[in-house]
Amino acid sequence: MIKAKHSLGKSPLFWIAVLLIQTLGLSGQSLDSVNRCATMESYWFGLRSRGDSSHPLEIANQRINAYLAEKKALRQTEFEVINIPVVVHVIHNEPSGAIGGSGNANITEEQIRSQIRILNEDYRKIPGTPGDNDNPVGVDTKIGFYLADVAPDGSQTNGITRTYYSAKSVFNPYADAQLLAGIISWPTDQYLNIWVCALSGNYLGVAQFPSLSGFPGLDDSQAEEALTDGVIIDYRAFGDRGAVPSNNYDMGRTTTHEVGHWFGLLHIWGDARCGDDYCDDTPWAEGSNTTSCNERFSNCRGSRTRNMIENYMDYSPDRCMNIFTFNQMERMHAVLELSPRRAKLVENARKAKLEESEKLQVQVFPNPVVDKMVNVEIRHKGYQDVTISITDLQGHVHETSRIEKMWSRLVSLPVSNLSRGVYLLVISNESGEKNVSRFVVN
Ligand code: ZN
């Protein structure tokens, strides 16, 4: 059964409300009267500011529906576990660089790690955690998350960046995505980027929907989208400790919800009265749930049904939430295959861990280099220090980097500073092995 379509359009009054919220800001906010999610608003805002009259989300939904119908016909119901590398960019206004404490956006590593733990509990429905549930349609989505251990330049990382930004302490969830991405962004086809900062308008978080058409770099709007692709979360709603005050939003579900949008999920009420989220196993709802966990009922399509207030894609308080449904899981996995940037991320994450080999083996690609990045698959025995140098044919060294203790894996190196020509990539490891490969920059 396919639910009927609806319009996601917004009235002029809505935009006046948005402007008012932006103007008022959030000084002294208690996070008790919050705007849970700015994702739909941000989506419309982005289209309007680009003068774009298309509705890419609607097109994406149709493509996902067609894909799922085909899969169903082929009776493909297996889902492979996919682990997503995450980078958390902390943007703060703390000149001393002091970490932690209430009211400080420069949150602790412990707080950040609590959020990654919660994402796994919720998406994997881990027994004995708040993410567990016994609802017949509640599933383990087979999607996991880990803080990235390799930075874009191949160096080791804890998956956390910290940036002091003096020009602004509070960011607008619609208008500042580009600003935040300009401050710092890791390749969005390799990492799920999460920016953590103070948000204006009492907003807790915002996400960018997946793009199902085109490839990054094809045109300006695609390039911009590629840069800002990720989620932005207010530091007071990120994880379950540290700077998170005790309120309705203190169990890390803001990020669970926003990452759901990043995987292409819609709100369960379809952002319209009895609107469609394209998931048959989330009951119709007249609207969002808000500040309590009391049961709510809707009258949609001539029948009375109980709202699934436990769904992560509702606006319920964190403590009520513990369900992703089977249809939601299907849609997320479909997006991971259909969205070029998401598919690339999954492919890169898989490649990032390679089978080890007895002897040093190196593969350089693409060759000639594309997009000013050269990818190198390095396989060796165990866990070793590796030195990578780029020299020209005259033996001049252009670049040297050392990676401490790495497993066999893919390393991507930026080569934007190299002029056209043929170069040598020299790789040596602590066992004394050495490999020299050629590559071409056009
Ligand atoms: Zn939302």
Which pLDDT belongs to residue 319? Answer: 97
Higher-confidence residue of 52 and 41: namely 41
Cα–Cα distance for residue pair 97/90, rounded to 1 Å: 11
Buried b (16+ CB within 10 A) or exposed e, 209-227: bbbbeeebeeeeebebbbb
Cα–Cα distance list, 16 to 21, 23, 57, 104 (Å): 9, 11, 23, 31
HSE-up (13 A, CA, CB side) for residue 380: 23
Which pLDDT belongs to residue 257? Answer: 98
What 3-state DSSP class applies to 183? helix
Residues near ion ligand 1 (CB < 5 Å) are: 37, 39
The one-character DSSP state at 320 is: G
Higher-confidence residue of 14 and 344: namely 344
Strands 192-197 and 230-234: parallel
- Grade residue 262 by pLDDT with cuts at 50, 70 and 90: very high
> Are 125 and 55 within 8 A, CB to CB?
no
Q: What is the pLDDT of residues 101-131, one digit of tens each?
A: 999 999 999 999 999 999 999 999 999 999 9
Specify the residue for token string 């997006």.
335
- Grade residue 9 by pLDDT with cuts at 50, 70 and 90: very low
Report residue 133 as tokens. 């549930």
What's the pTM? 0.78
Cβ contacts of residue 257 below 8 Å, gap of 6+? 36, 37, 205, 312, 313, 321
The whole-number average pLDDT for the span 252-278 is: 97
Q: Is the pLDDT of residue 53 over 80?
A: yes
Cα–Cα distance for residue pair 109/85, rounded to 1 Å: 16
| pLDDT cut 70: percent of the chain above it | 90
Backbone phi and psi for residue 243, each to the nearest 5 degrees, phi listed first: -80, 5
- In sign, the C-alpha dihedral spanning 262, 265, 267, 270 is positive
Cα–Cα distance for residue pair 406/386, rounded to 1 Å: 7
Which pLDDT belongs to residue 218? Answer: 46
Cα–Cα distance for residue pair 297/286, rounded to 1 Å: 8
Cα–Cα distance for residue pair 401/411, rounded to 1 Å: 11
- What's the one-letter identity of residue 190? Q
Q: Is the pLDDT of residue 289 over 80?
A: yes
Cβ contacts of residue 117 below 8 Å, gap of 6+? none
Residue 162 buriedness (CB in 10 A; 0-12 / 13-18 / 19+) = middle
Residue 407 buriedness (CB in 10 A; 0-12 / 13-18 / 19+) = middle
**Separation of CA 280 and ligand 1 centre (Å):** 19
Alpha-carbon dihedral 416, 417, 423, 427, rounded to 10 degrees: -80
Q: What is the pLDDT of residues 391-407, one digit of tens each?
A: 999 999 999 988 766 77
Residue 321 buriedness (CB in 10 A; 0-12 / 13-18 / 19+) = buried
Cα–Cα distance for residue pair 149/159, rounded to 1 Å: 6
| pLDDT cut 90: percent of the chain above it | 70
Cα–Cα distance for residue pair 137/325, rounded to 1 Å: 5
Which pLDDT belongs to residue 156? Answer: 76
**Separation of CA 347 and ligand 1 centre (Å):** 27
Which pLDDT belongs to residue 402? Answer: 82
Q: In terms of residues, how long is the chain?
A: 442
**Separation of CA 313 and ligand 1 centre (Å):** 6
Q: Is the pLDDT of residue 314 over 80?
A: yes
> Are 167 and 216 within 8 A, CB to CB?
no
Higher-confidence residue of 373 and 159: namely 159
Strand-pair partners of 138: 325
Q: Is the pLDDT of residue 25 over 70?
A: no
Which pLDDT belongs to residue 383? Answer: 66
**Separation of CA 315 and ligand 1 centre (Å):** 7
The whole-number average pLDDT for the span 423-435 is: 95
Instruction: Give the 3-state secondary structure of 200-263.
Output: CCCECEEECCCCCCCCCCCCHHHHHHHHHCEEEEEHHHCCCCCCCCCCCCCCCHHHHHHHHHHC
Which pLDDT belongs to residue 214? Answer: 57
Cis peptide before 216 (omega within 30 of 0): no
**Separation of CA 24 and ligand 1 centre (Å):** 21
Active site residue ranges: 258
The one-character DSSP state at 380 is: -
Alpha-carbon dihedral 420, 218, 184, 408, rounded to 10 degrees: -60
**Separation of CA 324 and ligand 1 centre (Å):** 14
**Separation of CA 155 and ligand 1 centre (Å):** 34
Specify the residue for token string 């978080």.
205
- What's the one-letter identity of residue 341? R
**Separation of CA 425 and ligand 1 centre (Å):** 46
**Separation of CA 436 and ligand 1 centre (Å):** 50
The one-character DSSP state at 352 is: T
Chain center to CA of 263: 8
**Separation of CA 413 and ligand 1 centre (Å):** 36
**Separation of CA 81 and ligand 1 centre (Å):** 24
